[in-house]
Structure 1
Amino acid sequence: MKKNNVNKVGLLNFHYSDNNYGAVLQAAALFRVVKNLGYDVEQIDFIPHTYNETFLSSSKRKIKYLIESLFKNKLSIDDKCFEQFRHEFLKRSVKIFSKEELEGIGHEYDAIIVGSDQVWRADYTGRAKYVYFLDFVPKSCKKVSYAASFGLDDWMLKNDSSATSNISGLLSKFDHVSVRESTGVKVCKDIFNVDAEHVLDPTLLVSKDFFNEIIDGNSNDVAEDLNSLVYYKLDKSPVFEEQLKLISKEKFNKVENLFYDGGVQLKYNEVGVWLSKIKNSKLVITDSFHCVCFSIIFEKNFICSANSSRGLTRLESLLGALGLQDRICIDDSQLSNEKYLLEIDYEAVKNKVSLLRIGSLEFMKNALK
């Protein structure tokens, strides 16, 4: 039994995604970190139907979920890989669809950690926003945030005095608060009068061995191709595609889209295959925060083709801390510029990650004492 009787820890984040590799991988990474610290850890399997829908009653939610699973083929052949990954790398609670059910299981944990990912971005969580500030957790349970993200430079509901006041009250009851971006530290202090620590995303908290374990377990081998380019672009444009052709024409014999439209349905790689394609490439081009993280983990040259409308703070905070801010390209017409194709000095980057990892792990250990 741990000090202060902390033994069982619940995790709350966006683990349930059926199209977001970063969401499921950060959940698995955090799960592994807490487990390695010696705790009995469980992913709280909270699945809101949509971010902006009012919670249905428990019984209605379950019926709706079953109907969608059976008749809308929710777990289709294309996205089944995400559920398979969760089954292998997460131990989950019973499925939870309502606020009432959350309140019912809160007492089962000695501590609950919310994070990582954009769990504090109000337009993503909608009417479920208070859940991610742990409004359902009893007083007897420790409340911790790990690398929670507001997603943007500022608190997007600052003009909503009622919501801001409610959340300020909820945050004041947290035992330990950490955020993923340096701007989040400022938001916590300026808007909510709460001190927060700046920590690494969970994917950078575990060793590379964890992700190699995931890769080794996939069903399809991906050969290393030192002359391949892979891209994971959530927002493609004609300009981006033209620049991609220019880059690939002279320098790469293979170009692959890691997240592509196969016609009517999206086709998804197994999670391990997706990782291995990054690991075995020569260059990665992406606008995804977590794809950037995995490019760093596998020491790949990468270009961050950033989309300012999605928010740059996540990328600027991480890459600035690692001395890689020059890998951000906010103008797709400049992607083929030679400066973005220069080799990255990963010795310097690894040293910075190691130092940040020490501080982040120390936060976690202290939070769960």
Structure 2
Amino acid sequence: MKKIGILNCSHIYNYGSVLQSYAMEKVVGEITGYDTYSVRYRQKKGLRYIKNYFPLIFEKDIVKFKLKGVKRKIYIKFINKSLGENCKKREHYFQKFVNDNFNFTETYTTINELNKMSLEYSKFVLGSDQVWHPINYGSHYYTMEWIPEQIKKITYAASFGVSNIPKYQIKGTKKFLGRIDNISVREQQGAQIVYDMINKKVPVVVDPTLLLDSDRWEKISTNIEDKDYIFCYFLGNNKMAREMANAVKNKTGKKIFSIPCMDEVNLEDLQFGDKQLYDVGPSEFLSYIKNAAYVITDSFHGTVFSVLFNKQFAVYNRYNNNNKNSTNSRIDTLLMKIELENRRILSNCSTEEGTNILLSTIDYSKVNSKVSELRSGSIEYLKHVLEECDK
């Protein structure tokens, strides 16, 4: 059978989630020559759903994480309806990109349907993102448990998104990890969890977005007229980042373009910058980074695409380092590997120091060489694994 199923996060309204899902589908298809299909699963919300997710209400960090999303929904639906309409407009752009650029299966709603469908495929590849976060465990979708033993199961750059697995999930986590034929993860932290669970050393590979070069990303970007601005993409509420953006604006005379209220509602962002962007899907997101003079972000994928498009950029922390949901480590790891640790703005850095960092010029000849090496190594690994599964 010349069909491969891809499990990804294409349904999430997050630029990084959608773009890495896109990269995963395309790269696996190009390596193997097989037809690749992104599997669509929408779990039914019934008693089983409630039973599976009920234990999460006792996990404080997960509850806090979910409450942010709930607060955002309430605010844009009942308090600030105009913002809600703008967010719907943005979601429309996301949906259009996904519908135009993915090869989807039909939508399945039960594990039994997935199990029956899986018999039509030679193998399944679980893509990146926080697919093994404890919050996803209850669906039993990303665990690949519904795929029969005889069908090959591969993960590429999977992430737990946490440093510790809840006690009640440890037994199940050991079981599902033990059934997967080839595992690779996104962070060293994830490799340690796999080792602790099943005593198996697994490779750490680059994020799927880095598997495609800037020329490939440019082909799916949208032409926009705006150029030479300061592009701000913040998922958190770090005030220092906004202050630095205004300082850079005052120093350079360039306008600030921002994408407000992605993961949470930050009221300051509704008045921040010269242009708030809502009509922005993944294609437009790429373009706004590509056409920027400078990029300031607290996002991993904001960092990735700044590097791929050779932008002058600076990165702030979205989380405190002691936050269990922190994604700071993967940003630090990437910057270390490409020797751009100096683009990191730490909490003890002044606005003036941060401004000087952003305005200093990056030598991309050296950086591009390192990115190319990382890309080649991860593609070779993925190619080897996919070929091994055919034997």
Aligned match of 1:156 in 159, 165, 170?
A: 165
The question of whether the paired residues in 1 share the 8 Å contact of 2:173 and 2:197 is answered with no
Aligned match of 2:7 in 8, 12, 32?
A: 12
Query: Which residue pairs with 2:155 in the alignment?
Result: 145
- What is the alpha-carbon distance in structure 2 between the residues aligned to residue 54 and residue 234 of structure 1? 33
Matched, 1:363 2:381: yes
Give 1:30's aligned amino acid.
M
The question of whether the paired residues in 2 share the 8 Å contact of 1:55 and 1:98 is answered with no
Query: Which residue pairs with 2:94 in the alignment?
Result: 82
- What is the alpha-carbon distance in structure 1 between the residues aligned to residue 20 and residue 373 of structure 2? 20
3-state SS of the aligned residue for 2:106?
A: coil
Query: Which residue pairs with 1:322 in the alignment?
Result: 338
Query: Which residue pairs with 1:313 in the alignment?
Result: 329
CA change 1:330–1:156 in 2 (3 A) is: farther
CA change 1:110–1:56 in 2 (3 A) is: farther
Matched, 1:221 2:224: yes
Give 1:304's aligned amino acid.
V
- What is the alpha-carbon distance in structure 2 between the residues aligned to residue 329 and residue 221 of structure 1? 29
- What is the alpha-carbon distance in structure 2 between the residues aligned to residue 353 and residue 303 of structure 1? 18
Deviates more, 1:40-49 or 1:111-120: 40-49
CA change 1:315–1:164 in 2 (3 A) is: same
Measured after TM superposition, the shift of residue 235 of structure 1 is 1.3
Deviates more, 1:182-191 or 1:35-44: 182-191
CA change 1:43–1:312 in 2 (3 A) is: same
- What is the alpha-carbon distance in structure 1 between the residues aligned to residue 215 and residue 240 of structure 2? 37
Aligned match of 1:101 in 93, 113, 119?
A: 113
Matches within 5 A, 1:172-183: 172-183=178-189
- What is the alpha-carbon distance in structure 2 between the residues aligned to residue 49 and residue 209 of structure 1? 40
Matched, 1:275 2:278: no
Identity fraction in percent: 30
Measured after TM superposition, the shift of residue 32 of structure 1 is 1.1
**Residues 157-184 of structure 1, C-alpha deviations (whole Å, 9 max, x = no match):** 2xx1x42122112212211111111222
Gaps of 5+ in 2: 52-83, 262-268
- What is the alpha-carbon distance in structure 2 between the residues aligned to residue 269 and residue 247 of structure 1? 24
The question of whether the paired residues in 1 share the 8 Å contact of 2:247 and 2:351 is answered with no
3-state SS of the aligned residue for 2:29?
A: helix
Give 1:127's aligned amino acid.
G
- What is the alpha-carbon distance in structure 2 between the residues aligned to residue 99 and residue 332 of structure 1? 49
The question of whether the paired residues in 1 share the 8 Å contact of 2:227 and 2:293 is answered with no
Matched, 1:44 2:39: yes
- What is the alpha-carbon distance in structure 2 between the residues aligned to residue 23 and residue 344 of structure 1? 27
Measured after TM superposition, the shift of residue 365 of structure 1 is 1.1
Query: Which residue pairs with 2:22 in the alignment?
Result: 28
- What is the alpha-carbon distance in structure 2 between the residues aligned to residue 131 and residue 155 of structure 1? 20
The question of whether the paired residues in 2 share the 8 Å contact of 1:181 and 1:318 is answered with no
What is the alpha-carbon root mean square deviation over aligned residues?
A: 2.8
The question of whether the paired residues in 1 share the 8 Å contact of 2:133 and 2:160 is answered with yes
3-state SS of the aligned residue for 2:49?
A: coil
- What is the alpha-carbon distance in structure 2 between the residues aligned to residue 238 and residue 41 of structure 1? 43
The question of whether the paired residues in 2 share the 8 Å contact of 1:113 and 1:146 is answered with yes
3-state SS of the aligned residue for 1:55?
A: helix
- What is the alpha-carbon distance in structure 2 between the residues aligned to residue 257 and residue 336 of structure 1? 21
Matched, 1:254 2:266: no
- What is the alpha-carbon distance in structure 2 between the residues aligned to residue 199 and residue 224 of structure 1? 34
The question of whether the paired residues in 2 share the 8 Å contact of 1:151 and 1:314 is answered with no
CA change 1:10–1:320 in 2 (3 A) is: same
The question of whether the paired residues in 1 share the 8 Å contact of 2:257 and 2:277 is answered with no
Give the TM-score normalised by structure 1: 0.83
CA change 1:336–1:108 in 2 (3 A) is: farther
Give 1:222's aligned amino acid.
E
Query: Which residue pairs with 1:354 in the alignment?
Result: 372
CA change 1:119–1:241 in 2 (3 A) is: same
Name whichever structure is richer in helix by fraction: 2
Matches within 5 A, 1:61-80: 76-80=88-92
Measured after TM superposition, the shift of residue 185 of structure 1 is 2.0
Matches within 5 A, 1:209-248: 209-215=215-221, 218=222, 221-225=224-228, 228-248=229-249
The question of whether the paired residues in 2 share the 8 Å contact of 1:231 and 1:258 is answered with yes
Query: Which residue pairs with 2:363 in the alignment?
Result: 345
Matched, 1:202 2:218: no
Matches within 5 A, 1:46-61: 46-48=41-43, 55=49
The question of whether the paired residues in 2 share the 8 Å contact of 1:56 and 1:98 is answered with no
Measured after TM superposition, the shift of residue 96 of structure 1 is 2.2
Query: Which residue pairs with 2:315 in the alignment?
Result: 304
Query: Which residue pairs with 2:66 in the alignment?
Result: none
- What is the alpha-carbon distance in structure 2 between the residues aligned to residue 246 and residue 179 of structure 1? 38
The question of whether the paired residues in 1 share the 8 Å contact of 2:10 and 2:17 is answered with yes
The question of whether the paired residues in 2 share the 8 Å contact of 1:240 and 1:332 is answered with no
**Residues 226-272 of structure 1, C-alpha deviations (whole Å, 9 max, x = no match):** xx210100112444333321222112411100345669x99341322
The question of whether the paired residues in 2 share the 8 Å contact of 1:247 and 1:336 is answered with no
The aligned length equals 335
3-state SS of the aligned residue for 1:104?
A: helix
